[in-house]
Amino acid sequence: MSYAPPRRGLPPLLLAALYAGAVLLPMVLGWTTGHQRVGMRAAAGCGIAAAVMIFLQMISSGRFEAISGRIGIDVTMAFHKWAAPAALVLALGHLALLVGPPDAERPHRLARRLDMLLQPDLAEAWAALALLALLVVLALLRDRLPIRYELWRASHALGALALCGALLWHILSDGRGLAGSPTLWLIFAAGVGLPALGVYARRLRASPATDWRAAETRLVAERLWEVTLDPPPGQNLDFRAGQFAWLAFAGHRLPLYDHPFSIASAPGEPRLRFLIQEAGDFTRRIGALPPGTRVALDAPHGSFGLDPHGPGGILLIAGGVGIAPVLSILADLARVGCRRPVRLIYAGRSPEAMVPPAFYGPACDALGIEPLLLADRGAAAAGMGPAPLTEGHLRMSLVGLDPQQCDVLLCGPGPMMTMATDCLAGLGVPLSHIGYERFSYDAGSLSAKDRRILAGIAALWAVIAALLLAYSFA
Ligand SMILES: Cc1cc2nc3c(=O)[nH]c(=O)nc-3n(C[C@H](O)[C@H](O)[C@H](O)COP(=O)(O)OP(=O)(O)OC[C@H]3O[C@@H](n4cnc5c(N)ncnc54)[C@H](O)[C@@H]3O)c2cc1C
Per-residue pLDDT of the chain (474 residues; tens, 9 = 90+): 333 445 578 998 999 999 999 998 888 877 766 556 888 888 989 999 999 999 999 999 888 888 988 888 888 988 999 999 999 999 999 999 998 887 778 878 888 888 888 888 899 999 999 999 999 999 999 888 888 888 999 999 999 999 999 999 999 998 766 777 888 899 999 999 999 999 889 888 888 888 999 999 999 999 999 999 999 998 899 999 999 999 999 878 788 889 999 999 999 999 999 999 999 889 999 999 999 999 999 999 988 999 999 899 999 999 999 999 999 999 999 999 999 999 999 999 999 999 999 999 999 999 999 999 999 999 999 999 999 999 999 999 999 999 999 999 999 999 999 999 999 999 999 999 999 888 886 656 789 988 988 899 999 999 999 988 988 887
CB of 73 closer than 6 A to ligand 1? yes
Q: Is 259 in the pocket of ligand 1 (CB under 6 A)?
A: yes
Q: E-assigned strands of 328-430?
A: 342-348, 372-375, 385-386, 407-411
Asked if residue 323 has its Cβ within 6 Å of ligand 1, the reply is no
Atom of ligand 1 nearest to the CA of 279: 26
Which of 189, 143, 141 is CA-nearest to residue 165? 189
304 lines ligand 1 (CB under 6 A): no
The answer, yes or no, to whether the previous bond of 351 is cis (omega within 30 of 0) is: no
In contact, 190 and 40? CB cutoff 8 Å: no
What is the sign, positive or negative, of the torsion defined by CA atoms of 138, 142, 148, 149?
positive
For residue 25, give the nearest of 169, 176, 188 by alpha carbon: 188
CA 445 to chain centre: 17
Distance from the alpha carbon of residue 279 to the mean position of ligand 1, in angstroms = 8
Substitution site in 261, 277, 301 for ligand 1 pocket (most atoms within 8 Å of beta carbon): 261
Give the integer Cα–Cα distance in Å for 244 and 438. 11
CA dihedral 85, 89, 95, 97 (to 10 degrees): -160
Query: What's the whole-model pTM score?
Result: 0.89
Backbone dihedral angles phi then psi of residue 468, each to the nearest 5 degrees: -65, -45
Whether the CB of 152 sits within 6 Å of ligand 1: no
**Residue to mutate (ligand 1; options 142, 286, 440, 442; most atoms within 8 A of CB):** 440
Pick from 14, 149, 156, 131: nearest CA to 71: 14
Dist CA 215 CA 237 (whole Å): 16
Residue 260 Cα to ligand 1 midpoint, Å, equals 6
261 within ligand 1 shell (Cβ under 6 A): yes
**Cβ proximity of 298 and 245 under 8 Å:** yes
Q: Which atom of ligand 1 is nearest to the CA of 259?
A: 41
Please answer whether residues 22 and 12 qualify as being in contact, where contact means their C-beta atoms are separated by less than 8 angstroms.
Answer: no
Please list the residues that pair with 319 across neighbouring strands.
Answer: 347
